Structure 1
Amino acid sequence: MDLPKFLLADNSNHPEDIFVLHTEYPRFLINLKDDSIEWFEDLTGEKEEDVTTELADLMDKAGEFYDDEMKGLE
């Protein structure tokens, strides 16, 4: 099965939160409401500079994905 790179996630226990799941390495769940992140990968041993740049880019792309999905629903 081909998984999309990003998925919207919802949880009835947190109705005000907006979650986006990144399914590729490094996998994470971001709450766009407060930018909190839950990592599913151990990133120790990676070059800090490389990881920081890549993760900032991925978080921006998660936000763009959400915005595009919401535009499609209008």
Structure 2
Amino acid sequence: MNLPKFLLADNSNNPEDIFVLHTEYPRFLINLKDDEVEWFEDVSGENEQDLANELENLIELAGTFYDEEMKQYEE
């Protein structure tokens, strides 16, 4: 099975939260409501500056993914 790079996720216990799951390395779940991130991998051994740049980019892509998905629902 080919997983998409990002998935929308929700939880009825947290109806105000907006979750996006990143399925590739480094895997994470971000709550777009408050930008809280839960990491599923230990990324501490990586070059810190390269990692920070990549993670910033991935979090931005997660927000863009969510915006594009919401546009499709509105149409």
With the length of structure 2 as denominator, give the TM-score of the two structures: 0.98
Q: Which runs of 5+ in 2 are unaligned?
A: none
Q: CA RMSD in A?
A: 0.3
Q: Which runs of 5+ in 1 are unaligned?
A: none
- 1:26 maps to 26
**For residues 1-74 of structure 1, what are the structure 2 equivalents within 5 Å?**
1-74=1-74
With the length of structure 1 as denominator, give the TM-score of the two structures: 0.99
1:18-62 CA deviation, whole Å, 9 max, x = no partner?
A: 000000000000000000000000011100000000000000000
The count of residues paired between Structure 1 and Structure 2 equals 74
Deviant stretches of 4+, over 6 Å: none
